[in-house]
Structures are given as structure tokens and as C-alpha cells.
Amino acid sequence: MSKLVVGNWKLNPSTAVEAVELARATDFPNAVICPPDIFLMQVGKVLEKASLGAQDLFWENAADITGEASTEQLLKVGVSYVIVGHSSRREEVGETDELVNLKLKAAVAAKLKAILCIGENLELHKQGEEAARQFVAGQLDKALKGIKEGEEYLLVAYEPIWSISTSGTGLTDTPQEAAQMIRYIKDALTERGFGKTPVLYGGSVNGETAGAFLKQDAIEGVLVGGASLKADEFKKVVSQA
């Protein structure tokens, strides 16, 4: 069975015409395409094989809140996956573990497949494996607080922040190191009653490197940023999944 490839377009592209073109060229059965909210409707209309995903959500429906999208609205435009707690939201927007928990609870309750992002930053990475493990286990505890059921709607993406292309460190994880951490995360999920949750890897994977990560049994899919914006590159990743 093919592994899952999630494309996170972040704030790209800049026009609906480009978004539709990219969606047409990256429409594969084992893919999830996460465009910016503003293009969800157009991209959703074009996708025939891939699933539609959102990059974020708000935890209440019909609330007096400005500038957000609710689970109800996302479902109505055909979204079936949603990224929760991406490192860029945690770091750039200041999203806290408490907000991540509210969002995760809301997504799972609404039966949206939630891709919970966790991962340590460069400082923790430098402190060694144990520090990174403790940190991601803590992120899991905080994100999963109060969630008792709905495991079938939960996925985890391990994204070491220092390895994401936009982090600027120039460092990347090896497939072996990534798989080792993902095995640890799997065990941590099992201990918390979420042993069937798939764990994806997302740290600057591209057409060249994807195969080696996807060959690791522990890695059940990849979350791709930059490489999801180039159709050829994304196709290469998908073909190795």
C-alpha cells in the first residue's frame, strides 16, 4: 500500500490560476494537497484523486472571531485533512500548546483527519537525543490532553524544526535518525493509547531524498513543504511512496 504524501503549500502560490494549475499537476491518489484557505474551493474542484487539506482551523463554529476558518466551513468545501500545530504557526504566530490542543480536539471531534505536527528546535537538537525525545513526548501530552477517542482521525508528523528548509540551518536529518525518533514517537503514542496513529516525517524532503526516508518501515508518509510547489518534484516524491 502506498504511503501518504502531504503537500503543505503554506502561503503559495499568489494567484488562483496558479493554484489550480499546480493542483491539476499534483493530483495523485496517495496525496493530500493543503493550499492556503483562500484557494481551498478552487483547488477542491480540480482534485479528483488527491484529498484536500487545510493548514489550520479554529476550534468553534459560528463564533464571533475574525480571520479564521471553522471545522464546519472546512468540511463544507470538501476538506478532509487539516494540519494542526505546524512549527511555523507555533514559532511565527505564537501558537501555544493549549491552542494546539483545542484545535486538535475540534478537528478530531468534527471527523477531520488531523495531522499534528511536533518536533524539536535546533537548540534542543544540540542538547542530544534524550532532550529532543522528552520535548516531543511533552508536545504529545499537551496536544492529546482530553482526547479519549477518534484515533482514526489522528496522524502525527515529526518535523524537526532545524531540518525544515526555511529554518536556514542548512542541516538535515538522516533517514535513520528520523526513523529512530519516529519509533520513539510510536512507542510514546502507544503508551498514551494511540498506538495505531500513523507517523509521517517532514523535514525538507524532496524528490531526491524522499525515497530513502520512505524506505524506512517506521516512516508512514511524508509532509512536504517547498517540494510540493514544484509539480515534477512532488510527482517524484509521490512515485517513491
* Interacting span for ligand PGA (CB under 6 A) from 22-30, 59-67, 179-187, 198-206: 198-206
Least Cβ distance, residue 121 to ligand PGA (angstroms) = 13
CA atoms of 229 and 241, how far apart (whole Å):
18
Q: Which of 95, 120, 125, 159 is catalytic?
A: 159
Least Cβ distance, residue 65 to ligand PGA (angstroms) = 25
Interface with ligand PGA in residues 134-193 (CB under 6 A): 159, 164-165
- The CB-nearest residue to ligand PGA is 225
Number of residues that bind ligand PGA (CB under 6 A): 12
CA atoms of 236 and 241, how far apart (whole Å):
9
125 an active-site residue? no
CA atoms of 174 and 196, how far apart (whole Å):
24
CA atoms of 86 and 115, how far apart (whole Å):
9
Kindly state the cell numbers that stand for 141.
501530552
> Could you say which of 4, 5, 8, 101 contacts ligand PGA (CB under 6 A)?
8
Least Cβ distance, residue 158 to ligand PGA (angstroms) = 11
Least Cβ distance, residue 203 to ligand PGA (angstroms) = 6
Taking the CB of residue 120, how many other CB atoms lie within 10 A of it?
Answer: 25
Question: Does 202 sit near ligand PGA (CB under 6 A)?
Answer: yes
Contacts of 132 by beta carbon, 8 Å cutoff, 6+ apart: 120, 124, 125, 160, 181
Burial 28-47 (b: 16+ CB within 10 A, else e): bebbbbbbbbebbeebbebb
State the catalytic residues: 86, 159
Q: Return residues touching ligand PGA (CB under 6 A).
A: 8, 159, 164-165, 202, 204-205, 223-227
